[in-house]
Amino acid sequence: MSDMKTGAETLIAALVEQGVEVIFGYPGGAVLPIYDALFQQNSIRHILVRHEQAAVHAAEGYARSTGKVGCVLVTSGPGATNAVTGLTDALMDSIPVVCLTGQVPTHLIGQDAFQEADTTGITRACTKHNYLVKQVEDVSGVVHEAFLVAATGRPGPVVIDLPKDVLMNKTDVYRKKSDIRRTSYKPRIKGNLGQVEKAVEALAQAKRPIIYAGGGVINAGPEASQLLVEFTRMTGVPITNTLMGLGAYPASDKQFVGMLGMHGTYEANLAMYNCDVMLNIGARFDDRITGKLDEFSPNSTKIHVDIDPSSINKNVVVDIPIVGDAGHVLEDMIRLWRSKALTIDSGELKGWWEQINQWRGVDCLGFTQEKGEAEIRPQHALKRLQELTQHRDDVLISTEVGQHQMWAAQYLAFEKPNRWMTSGGLGTMGYGFPAAIGMQIGNPDTCCIDVAGEASILMNIQELSTAVQYRLPVKIMIINNQWMGMVRQWQELLHGGRYAESYTDSLPDFVKLAESFGAKGIRATKESELDAAIQEMLDSDVMTIFDCCVTKDENCFPMIPSGKPHYDMLLPGASQEKVAAAIQGEGLALV
């Protein structure tokens, strides 16, 4: 009976077969057998976080920056419920994560046992799929299936709930990865060729085309981004990226018109409004992108490439839907464009570019920064971060959620995919720091920076302990304006300047806070100190917080106020009256 293994040992064997190198987790009663098995092996490294939500975000950061599946291990009950925010975040942003949750022994399920929660019930709505393993013989098969489901098609989080007796029982059953047959799950990868042909022909007929590419291109792997660049250059079409898609197309390229959407550039949004053919690759017509739905790009033929059929015609009805993987479809598009020798009328395209360049001339991201003793403007802080890192090829950025996130998206330039990790769909404050920990674990020789706000960072600040324990030189750059800036901005725009609960009193001294955890703390309060402080942060080889104190009441512009169409943008320097009148009627009820 020497080949009998416990459920926990079988689980580890299956994870090793899946190529798992790192697990982010937190122990507890129900998962002790797994921790015991982890203790007795050397293939998988365990990273001890300080809160289960952070474990999932760290796994997301790891997955997004490496292209692998992130793996999480938490205990039953509170361990699992703490993970729910992270799982929902991963579902909204289509990030492949496998989360192992402990469960009370099978005979106690339903008895309201200590640390029992209906984990599969709770996580059904926030995972791509979940499993409750009821017998030890099923462990290996479920693990392999879970990784397949998490990583393929539209990626997402998968939960495996493991009762303690299943982990302790012994079995000699082990199913290999290659033995897995799931007949009911068949994601469509290859786009319908007839549809692809229609799409390229429509694009070739365009007078005012635009490519609008999203996170689906990033998820399709770095090759998909290369194909996107190739296709965009061969067609000469302007391209915009969503928040999730930044880095899919090099930001410094002249065909790139910036990010689109609520805080996107003037030129990107007006090009979307005025285009006659729109090619959407791997984006989902999110409400942050479309603005007022019935005035969204009213005169365009819309092509939509998405791996998830339920994303198509969900918000916006499209003319040419293509279900497939962004990379495969782009490959077909390039091939067809070449073989049919298609081109877009150069005269029309030239006129379109002249129009776009005119919009560019508005300089919607322009601002002025006074020198010396002057307060640092947040835009300037991010612009300098960009300028001081642009010569480097090893910088990975994550963010928290709010104004700083939008400024980071506007002023940082991403030349390659998998360099930008932000919580786009769920908008989870507290995402960025644990994500940066995961990025640093997955990419030890890179410079991982979490651009944060002083409110967001406090939501997972306990992870300083994790970063210091594993000697991770993660950098946190806090754009500190003492306000929940985006909440404050909306209160200014929507609620007559009644700033209810958006000011943070009693903030910690972030420098001392860092030091108390054994990390390094830096602060800058005026323009003259900024560059040196950023450089000191970049040069630091230990966990570092840079408390960048900025102007308190800065608004994030440009902005499409909610309920407004693309042409109705608020630009920097908009008059008080215009700002005050920006959101009215049904826009008030939107988020």
Partner 1 sequence: MSETRTFAVLVDNEPGVLARVIGLFSGRGYNIESLTVTEVDDDANLSRITIVTDGTTQVLAQIRNLLERLVPVHRVEDLTAVAEGRSMEPPVQRELALVKVVGAGDKRVEALRIADIFKAEVVDTGLGHFVFEIKGRKSQIDRFITLMMPLGLAEICRSGVIAVSRGDQAL
Interface residues toward partner 1, by CB under 8 A: 120-121, 124-125, 128-130, 132, 149, 182-185, 308-310, 312-314, 317
d(CA 140, CA 17): 10
Of 15 and 318, the one with the shorter C-beta distance to partner 1 is 318
CB of 165 to partner 1, least distance (A): 17
β 170-171/5-6 pair status: antiparallel
DSSP class per residue in 424-441: -SS--TT-HHHHHHHHHH
- The H or E element spanning position 467 is helix 464-469
CA 139 to chain centre: 30
Catalytic member of 272, 421, 459, 486? 486
Of 88 and 418, the one with the shorter C-beta distance to partner 1 is 88
CB of 76 to partner 1, least distance (A): 18
DSSP class per residue in 76-103: STHHHHHHHHHHHHHHHTT--EEEEEEE
CB of 311 to partner 1, least distance (A): 8
CB of 172 to partner 1, least distance (A): 24
Phi/psi of residue 555, nearest 5 degrees:
-100, 155
Of 124 and 170, the one with the shorter C-beta distance to partner 1 is 124
Provide CB contacts within 8 A for 53, sequence distance 6+. Answer: 82, 83, 85, 86, 430, 434, 460
Of 138 and 463, the one with the shorter C-beta distance to partner 1 is 138
Q: What share of the chain is helix, strand, coil (3-state, %, to 5)?
A: 40, 15, 40
Q: Which two tokens stand for residue 524?
A: 């800058």
Catalytic member of 17, 115, 314, 416? 115
CB of 527 to partner 1, least distance (A): 49
Of 186 and 371, the one with the shorter C-beta distance to partner 1 is 186
d(CA 255, CA 259): 12
Q: Which residue has the tokens 């776009």?
A: 356
Q: What angle do CA 356, 361, 363 make, to 5 degrees?
A: 115
Provide CB contacts within 8 A for 409, sequence distance 6+. Answer: 243, 246, 259, 263, 399, 422
Q: Which two tokens stand for residue 39?
A: 């203790």
CB of 144 to partner 1, least distance (A): 14
348 catalytic residue (yes or no) = no
CB of 399 to partner 1, least distance (A): 28
CB of 284 to partner 1, least distance (A): 13
CB of 309 to partner 1, least distance (A): 4
CA 427 to chain centre: 9
d(CA 549, CA 478): 8
Catalytic member of 4, 40, 41, 114? 114
Of 121 and 361, the one with the shorter C-beta distance to partner 1 is 121
Q: Which residue has the tokens 């009663």?
A: 29
Helix and strand counts by DSSP (H, E) for the chain: 23, 20
Of 9 and 89, the one with the shorter C-beta distance to partner 1 is 89
Of 195 and 504, the one with the shorter C-beta distance to partner 1 is 195
Sign of CA dihedral 302, 303, 306, 310: positive
Q: How many CA atoms lie within 13 A of 237 on its CB side?
A: 33
CB of 250 to partner 1, least distance (A): 33
Q: Which two tokens stand for residue 116?
A: 């029992």
170 catalytic residue (yes or no) = no
Evaluate whether 139 touches 7 at the Cβ level (below 8 Å).
yes
Of 215 and 561, the one with the shorter C-beta distance to partner 1 is 215
Ranges of beta strands (E only) in 196-332 are 209-213, 239-241, 256-259, 277-281, 301-306, 320-323
CB of 314 to partner 1, least distance (A): 6
Burial category of 590 from C-beta neighbours within 10 Å (exposed 0-12, middle 13-18, buried 19 and up): middle
Provide CB contacts within 8 A for 402, sequence distance 6+. Answer: 429, 453, 455, 456, 484, 485, 486, 487
Q: How far is CA 515 from CA 406, 518, 544, 546, in A?
A: 29, 5, 9, 12
- Picking from 539, 497, 555, the residue whose alpha carbon sits closest to that of residue 378 is 555
Of 116 and 450, the one with the shorter C-beta distance to partner 1 is 116
Sign of CA dihedral 286, 287, 291, 293: positive
Catalytic member of 9, 52, 400, 492? 52
Catalytic member of 68, 164, 292, 520? 164
Provide CB contacts within 8 A for 276, sequence distance 6+. Answer: 206, 207, 208, 209, 299, 300, 301
Of 188 and 207, the one with the shorter C-beta distance to partner 1 is 188
17 catalytic residue (yes or no) = no
Q: What positions carry a catalytic annotation?
A: 52, 114-115, 164, 486
